[in-house]
A and B are shown apart, each in its own frame.
Chain A
């Protein structure tokens, strides 16, 4: 239990913020904080893959979208046409089906959210596994390009397929009922509960990843980042380890996608966009790459600001700028800037370069 004490400040902060919004009557902030928590869940998963194992992915918005879209489609698309078929009765018998209503009040037969959620997450894991086997043989920018290709494919499928609602995406996604009378939905009545569901999930994810990093497997992952040759010579099955952490990070992304989709009541193709993947990579970089806390803090702060509309129409441009800035001034993350030595070094070097000709005279 003592190992979990590190979470205490975070838990206090999470509860504190909720209480504060209650006192100051600014409960509307909770909506963006809930969404930011889900995005951050994806980001800490990506951090384990990128920061610790050294494998970049520019396709994680794709896994998020696979989770979100599958869960959305399964819980909204009417299965009533298949009433007479054997598989329908099988699903019905297993209690996997639920009834719903479309926007015109007509009766729908759809997959129950819990089952849709499971299918979506398993599908994302399976796709990550199948994709990972060939592409994780690649290194560096070749891996970046291959995963980028995957992201583009998912984006185009979301945009082109009628089943996934084309450019409109999928709306009217029903709430996701959890045990203890909780539900994942955007209705005002359950705003506080949803804030705690999202943050609970994020903190749980953080605990799991911290445990992983701080273990035999975590050391193996970090050794792959350092030198794949040496890791192999130590007996680390590098291909298997990379695949496992890739699938794990895809599952984190898919879980985030499923929950956020039910919370928002819908999902659109922009969630699958390449710019989203770039944003996630930028946030992991800002957080300091091999730094779960940094990724979490930056994930929440930057997504919150973005969702509040602080960056306006320049949203994606801001994240591009952040990426450039981070690479130039603080390749070890923004937290390392707290002593400002990186920035000072940069300018000192510039000044020296300017002075040099004078020195020669």
Chain B
């Protein structure tokens, strides 16, 4: 069974059909990319999968379970983590605290127990901190732990956001343009990082504009144009697909 199965997904904003009858699936352990010109509906597709938007039609199955129309926090707890195109770190909090929020669904201290700082809550807090530190070390940014997250350089902020998503130990990780705004060296680094994420047993679905990165790391590619899927294939076949070339270069 596919880890993620999107079928006939559609989203209408007033008169605009942003996403229309999109179907594809992502197998466990795969790196899959969604590409397409600006306005093709890629981010809308992500928002539909993660519950930020409610689909007008169609369904999303995660490991066979229907998650269509659930709220974002529920979908996160089902095992989908995401990063944002315009990085959304929490201001006024340190890098470590940002990543610790990634452990929210992996911990359980409630309102009253937290207020009383019950012993088991304090023990849990230690485990949360430890797990967050491990993610920072994994991404090589442990030395930034105590700095304010939003004060960091752009590339470092992306790394923090990724660490935060990885702290959730998701089954599926959605990356919205992970290389946007990065130079070629940083982009290559992100490529290596995504490949290593796969080694952790995490399936990756990404939206990306950088074609060399996409062709390098993806197992399969879905191409969207004006909200519709126009192609889905392995990278080599996509590169020679007539319709894809037409969409990207014009006739």
Contacts and interface: CB of A to CB of B under 8 A. Distances in A.
A176 B103 CA distance: 45
Given A216-B114, A217-B111, A237-B73, A229 B88 contact: yes
A238 B72 CA distance: 10
Interface in A202-252: 208-209, 211-212, 215-220, 222-223, 225-227, 229-238, 244, 248
Nearest to B82: A233
Interface stretch (B90-98, B194-202, B204-212, B219-227): B90-98
B117 A211 contact: yes
Nearest to A289: B92
A216 to B, nearest CB: 4
Given A222-B92, A223-B90, A237-B73, A217 B52 contact: no
A209 B76 CA distance: 27
16 contacts: A215-B117, A216-B128, A219-B100, A222-B97, A223-B101, A226-B91, A229-B88, A230-B90, A231-B90, A232-B76, A234-B73, A234-B76, A234-B101, A235-B104, A235-B168, A236-B101
Contacts of A225: 90, 92
Contact of A234 (B92, B104, B114): B104
Contact of B77 (A218, A229, A235): A235
Nearest to A226: B90
Interface string A105-137: 000000000000000000000000000000000
A348 interface: no
Interface in B103-161: 103-105, 107, 109-111, 114-117, 121, 124-125, 128
A223 B244 CA distance: 40
A234 B164 contact: yes
Contacts of A215: 109, 114-115, 117, 121, 125
Interface residues of A, number: 29
A211 B50 CA distance: 32
Contacts of B175: none
B89 A226 contact: yes
Contacts of A248: 111
Interface of A: 3, 208-209, 211-212, 215-220, 222-223, 225-227, 229-238, 244, 248, 290
Nearest to B97: A219
A290 B88 CA distance: 20
Looking at B104, B111, B116, the one whose CB has the most chain A CB atoms below 10 A away is: B111
Q: Is the interface on chain B under 10, 10 to 19, 20 to 34, or 35 or more residues?
A: 35 or more
A217 B109 contact: yes
Looking at B76, B104, B105, the one whose CB has the most chain A CB atoms below 10 A away is: B104
Looking at A208, A218, A225, A232, the one whose CB has the most chain B CB atoms below 10 A away is: A232
A218 B89 contact: no
A226 B76 contact: no
B81 interface: yes
Interface in B54-78: 71-73, 76-77
Interface of B: 50-52, 71-73, 76-77, 81-82, 84, 88-93, 97, 100-105, 107, 109-111, 114-117, 121, 124-125, 128, 164, 168
A232 B47 CA distance: 12
B247 to A, nearest CB: 30
A220 B88 contact: no
A216 B97 contact: no
A229 B73 contact: no
B92 A226 contact: yes
Looking at A3, A216, A220, the one whose CB has the most chain B CB atoms below 10 A away is: A216
A309 B56 CA distance: 61
Given A219-B93, A219-B100, A222-B92, A232 B71 contact: yes
Contacts of B117: 3, 211, 215
A217 B73 contact: no
Contacts of B76: 232-235
A194 B124 CA distance: 38
Contacts of A220: 101, 104
A222 B148 CA distance: 14
A215 B128 CA distance: 10
A211 B115 contact: yes
A201 to B, nearest CB: 15
Given A226-B90, A236-B101, A218 B72 contact: no
A231 B97 CA distance: 13
A236 B104 contact: yes
A229 B84 contact: yes
A217 B121 CA distance: 11
B124 A216 contact: yes
